[in-house]
Amino acid sequence: MAAIPDQTKLPFKVALDVVLQGIRIRFGRSVVTISGVILGVAFLMSILSGIVLKEGVAEEDELRLEIQRMQNFLEAETGLVADRSFAVIPVGPLSTPEARFLERLKRSQASEIRLHDPRGLLTPAQADRLRTLPPDRLMEQASGLILMGSAAADDLDLDITTVMTGARQPVIALSNPRATPPAPAPGVSVIRLSRELRPEEIRAREEQARKDRFRDLWIIAISILVTVIGISNAMLMSVTERFREIGTMKCLGALSAFVRRMFIIESAIMGIVGGLLGSLGGFLFTLVAYLVTYSPGLVFTGLGQGLGLLAFAGAAAVVIGLVLSIIAAIYPANVAARMLPAVALRSNV
């Protein structure tokens, strides 16, 4: 024999077939390996979605607190809102807390909410169920006038004394912290329902936010590490325990490239399946945990706000799972592929 030809290079499909068949037959073992990937990715994903949900919930929490505070301040001056009437005059567009506060008032036990909106600042939805009255009848038997929005009340050219005629309680409440109070009128008390944060409060909050962000990053780093170790371990085990099989295949004429390709395909399949299931599982786990501790409304509002971020986190978790699986499999597969068949045959790891 003059020269020995090169061994046939097998098409991708052959490797895929061998892999799929292997996964099918080794189903129990494959499930264990995939579970390793699932657990790793699920852990990462539950941390990531926890952070996203917490953010949303925190914002919503803050908002609800703020509204509650506004109502508390109002009631401190007027008594419980139940069975009382209030009047609203928007002086500028409503901020989110103000809009929500108005909603809350509408849903409260207050007997009537009246409206004077000469500039048409409220949206139809906001104005819904409010009773529009002319300025001079606005406060008849009412317990308080709420000026909403951040412009100066005097811009409206209203005569406060006229407006206040017939009021049960001559109270003017400013719902926007940046609103300028109207010129003082005799017998009328002006209160603020919310106030700007003081600089040291803002600093303290920023400090806290920075700490939180740092802690989140730390937790993400740790969870990625846990994921790396979990997945590497699962893939490493599944390859090394097959050294003997690899050795046998090499004795039968398998090329190193074929062995390598086989394991890359296999780990990619495991990585994708495990990554998808893991990220879904991790997300659902966190969601349920939040639903148990927070009200569903709060959680879903937070979820709605963080949806983009969540999708990104999910995609990242899947990619991390996939890439890690392949990397963790390549190294031992390479070692095995390069082994002399006689050596691979005898290795029992």
**How far is C-alpha 254 from the geometric centre of its chain's CA atoms?**
49
| Min CB(8)–another protein separation in Å | 4
Cα(179)–Cα(189) distance, rounded to whole angstroms? Answer: 15
Interface with another protein: number of residues (CB under 8 A): 31
Indicate whether 258 belongs to the interface with another protein (CB under 8 A). yes
SS3 98: helix
Cα(280)–Cα(310) distance, rounded to whole angstroms? Answer: 11
Q: At 253, which amino acid appears?
A: G
Within a 10 A sphere around the Cβ of 213, how many other Cβ atoms? 11
**47-55, 101-109, 126-134, 250-258 -> range binding another protein (CB under 8 A):** 250-258
Within a 10 A sphere around the Cβ of 119, how many other Cβ atoms? 14
Indicate whether 128 belongs to the interface with another protein (CB under 8 A). no
Report the chain's C-alpha Rg in angstroms: 33
| Min CB(244)–another protein separation in Å | 7
SS3 255: coil
Decide whether 79 or 253 has the Cβ nearer to another protein: 253
Site mask, another protein, residues 18-57, x = CB under 8 A?
x--xx--xx-------------------------------
Indicate whether 336 belongs to the interface with another protein (CB under 8 A). no
**72-80, 224-232, 249-257, 296-304 -> range binding another protein (CB under 8 A):** 249-257
Q: At 8, which amino acid appears?
A: T
SS3 243: helix
| Min CB(213)–another protein separation in Å | 49
Indicate whether 340 belongs to the interface with another protein (CB under 8 A). yes
The footprint of another protein (CB under 8 A) covers 1, 4-8, 10, 14, 18, 21-22, 25-26, 244-245, 247-256, 258, 340-343, 345
